[in-house]
Structure 1
Amino acid sequence: MIYYVLWIVSFVGLILAVFWLNLLFFNEGRRIKIKKLPHVSIIIPVHNEEKTIERTIRSLLNSNYPKNKLEIIVVNDESTDNTFNVVKKFKNIILIDNKHKGIGKASAVNAGLRIAKGEFFGVLDADSEVGKNSIRNILTYFSKNKIGCVISAFKVLNSRNIYTGIQKIEYAFTVMIREFMSRINTLYYSHGVLSVFRTDLIKRLGYFDENNLTEDLEIAMRLKSKGYEVKMALKSITYTRVPGTFKDLWNQRVRWYRGFLNNLIKYKYVIFNKKYGLYGNFQLPLNIFSLIMLGLVFILFSYEIIRNLYNWILKIIILKFEIFSIGDLPSLKYLLLTIDIKYIFPIIIVILVNSFLLYKAHKIIKERTRLFTLNLFIYFLVFPVLTMFHWVTALFKEIFQTSKEW
């Protein structure tokens, strides 16, 4: 059974790779020349961010967007460290205390949005930094009124250990795929590393959902459900810090995946609905199919591990705990000769295809890539297994409705 699942996964993966690569020849999307720069509000929700918030604010102040048209709103979300005092030393920064506590940062974003004066507003996490041209570039993608949100491309700032190094590879790949989704109008993500929205539109739609684990995903899916488009500004580069420990990465991904499952159920009426074009008839069904295949792989591999472990324990009992000598262990040559090519070949195909896609991803975001590194090895062979456990944990928590923590 595993044999068939692996071949299905590799076959579908190959078809998708060809499909995504063909999108390289699609037009990036129409951009406009801005004759008169609009007023923009940038909302930064903060909670115990004393170590990073100063760099975040300075990146905005050092951008080439006119200061008289840039409103920076920092919303202090019950910080217990020195965040408030760090922000307070900046002049012309609006600093407010958010007294209303929701599940995540949505309540803080809404608090800033209520007083925002800009025609457009952006959401920027306190651990992120904008590039010099980020804001100007992102606004050029609002080429028509139906575009409700434009997200920036992003790079990792802190790739110093294995965890952050793997995410640096992953983020490059993610930017490429989201750019392709943007080109065929199936993009349904926004993020905290600078996403810009039409202010009046989001207010009309009822602000951000304060009871949602992934409010940035929810607002993008809400925009799509109302017939608006979400685009990526590939030339608008922003930078973010990613989790640097196993625990932080685990908690982040489980929260993300729980949020996705929750919002998928919330907007299930979009799936296979002709009204929503490729978004409803291709992108969401593809994601659901991927989750089903991921679940199958998890179940089958778990079964194989348990079965082999059972046989190994049984063998030890039968042999009355006889200890094998080193000489009894199989040689490397023997292990290589006994490898079943039926299982290995589809895995090799997937790795080769993804290696090529990863190479193209780094070229697209103009970032250097290194082959044959430990991070790359872990990304291809270990990270997918970890991701599988993230999804299983998220599914388990959603089924049993465990407490939601941001």
Structure 2
Amino acid sequence: MLFIDIIIVLSAILSSLWILLESFYYTRDKPPVPRTDGPRYKASIVVAIKNEDPEVVKGLVENLSRLDYPDYEVILVSDDSEQDFERLRQIELPEKFKLVRRDVPQGRKAGALNYGVSLSTGEILVFLDAEARVDPTILTRISAHLSQAEAMALRLRVRDPKNKLQVLYSEITEFSMDSLFRGRYLKGLPVFPNGSAFAIRSSTLKRIGGWREGMVAEDLEIGMRLFLNGVKVGYADDVVVETLAPYTWKDLFQQMKRWAYGSGQLFPYSLSLLRRGMSGIEGAIYANQWGIYPAYFVMLLIAGIVSPVFSSSLLSWVLSLTLFLISSLVFSWRSRTREYDLRIPALMISAFLTGYLLGLLNAKFSWKVTPKVEREQGLWIPLESNIISYLFLLSGILALKSYLVQGTILLAISLILLIIP
């Protein structure tokens, strides 16, 4: 049936286009670095904390206490239970530090950040996560950047990767910084900041209404809102915030699922970007990348299920699969990946598909903090991945009755999804 063939090919073009765009954005060129001998604004560092290991928070305090900057403060906002908060209170805080607890933790992470901002007195605001570690000169560099821009995305870098998963995650993060942040910034495209490494003038944040509470991807939302309000977010490639990679495949799955949920939840809002011309269209694609990645596979799944009633041609399957594989090979070549594991794309398909769908439906979502301490994998049965795998198995069996190649492709996808640990 021609309609099914067209949808299959279009979904492959959509998924492949974003993969190719990521490859195209990648660059080794570095943006200019502003001089650091200009004005130095008072800085407030705000960190939202929930279910964090006290040793992780203690390490953050020790790291930030060594900042070489004349005027700054650190506000740690805890959404922990009273018992866990008492453990945090055992940490010795320097004079410039403040640890507070919200009695009513509403609005998710964005609510905690807004609470911290309400207590701040700085002209510039820096938002970090508990596992962040920074250079002593970071505020000097941020102050220089914010003398030229109203908001800045900072460079993330994974520190001390130990196992293969963490090495893979580190390489993915490096490529993402060089492509989706550095590359897009140099091409004049809208930069959507990562909430783990973000700086903004306090006056600008106040003008746009602060963080939007209740959002799972509060950083993506504020990035879109800044763009819609005409605020150009810069990218500070020289300002590095070190972070940690997930230790286990389960942790990575939950983190990717959360990213995808946040994107799906913001889908209606992302459509407002379309009225801002080509940059807005590209921004909307960026904002929905977690749904775009698995779009092709979703269409293949549907095509297999409806195959007893609606036929699809072998040509459309071969053409679309070839296009997707070529784009994936180009991405692999451009990203200069040294480590590779088939579990990564399999994990992405399952996590992005389930997370994005739940976000679109605005289903109930439980925020799970990615653990920052080393621990054993333990027994993990990825329910979502298995369900999707069995759906592809069913789809393949249905397609095999009339279409050998199409059914075989679907069965192969089913098996690949089962390799996730």
Pair in the same fold by TM > 0.5: yes
- Measured after TM superposition, the shift of residue 77 of structure 1 is 1.7
State whether residues 17 and 357 of structure 1, in contact with CA within 8 Å, keep that contact through their aligned partners in structure 2. no
**Equivalent residue in structure 2 for 1:40, among 33, 39, 43:** 43
1:48-80 CA distance string (max 9 Å, x none): 3202011112222223323xx111111122244
Q: Which amino acid aligns with 1:238?
A: V
Partners of 2:269 and 2:55 in 1: CA distance: 36
Q: Which amino acid aligns with 2:217?
A: T
2:184 aligned partner: 181
- Measured after TM superposition, the shift of residue 100 of structure 1 is 2.9
1:98 aligned partner: 102
1:337 aligned partner: none
2:112 aligned partner: 108
Name whichever of 51-60 and 392-401 sits farther off.
Answer: 392-401
2:400 aligned partner: none
2:352 aligned partner: 391
Give secondary structure in 1 for the equivalent of 2:146. coil
1:180-201 CA distance string (max 9 Å, x none): 1222333342223331111122
Which residues in structure 2 correspond to 1:227-266 (within 5 Å)?
227-266=230-269
State whether residues 188 and 217 of structure 1, in contact with CA within 8 Å, keep that contact through their aligned partners in structure 2. no
Name whichever of 227-236 and 260-269 sits farther off.
Answer: 260-269
2:340 aligned partner: 377
Distance 1:164 1:290, change over 3 A: closer
Distance 1:53 1:348, change over 3 A: same
Q: Give RMSD over aligned pairs.
A: 3.3
Name whichever of 165-174 and 288-297 sits farther off.
Answer: 288-297
State whether residues 185 and 230 of structure 1, in contact with CA within 8 Å, keep that contact through their aligned partners in structure 2. no
1:405 aligned partner: 366
Which residues in structure 2 correspond to 1:301-340 (within 5 Å)?
none
Partners of 2:212 and 2:8 in 1: CA distance: 43
Distance 1:5 1:169, change over 3 A: farther
1:354 aligned partner: 331
2:136 aligned partner: 132
- Structure 2: which 5+ runs fail to align? 308-316, 368-421
- Measured after TM superposition, the shift of residue 213 of structure 1 is 1.0
1:235-288 CA distance string (max 9 Å, x none): 1111112322233222222221111122231242221x1xx3443133324665
1:278-309 CA distance string (max 9 Å, x none): 431333246658845631223316766999xx
1:208 aligned partner: 211
Partners of 2:202 and 2:106 in 1: CA distance: 21
State whether residues 298 and 388 of structure 1, in contact with CA within 8 Å, keep that contact through their aligned partners in structure 2. no
Mapped pair 1:224 → 2:224: no
- Measured after TM superposition, the shift of residue 347 of structure 1 is 6.1
Q: Which amino acid aligns with 2:249?
A: F
State whether residues 262 and 359 of structure 2, in contact with CA within 8 Å, keep that contact through their aligned partners in structure 1. no
2:296 aligned partner: 296
Partners of 1:193 and 1:158 in 2: CA distance: 18
2:385 aligned partner: none
Q: Which amino acid aligns with 1:91?
A: E
Q: Which amino acid aligns with 1:16?
A: L
- Structure 1: which 5+ runs fail to align? 308-339, 360-368
State whether residues 264 and 288 of structure 2, in contact with CA within 8 Å, keep that contact through their aligned partners in structure 1. no
Q: Which amino acid aligns with 2:221?
A: E
Distance 1:108 1:3, change over 3 A: closer
Counting aligned pairs with the same residue, the percent is 22
Q: TM-score, normalised by structure 1?
A: 0.75
Q: Which amino acid aligns with 1:261?
A: G
**Equivalent residue in structure 2 for 1:59, among 63, 67, 70:** 63
State whether residues 134 and 152 of structure 1, in contact with CA within 8 Å, keep that contact through their aligned partners in structure 2. no
Q: Which amino acid aligns with 1:191?
A: N
Partners of 2:12 and 2:111 in 1: CA distance: 46
Name whichever of 287-296 and 178-187 sits farther off.
Answer: 287-296
Mapped pair 1:157 → 2:173: no
Partners of 1:289 and 1:255 in 2: CA distance: 13
Distance 1:70 1:262, change over 3 A: same
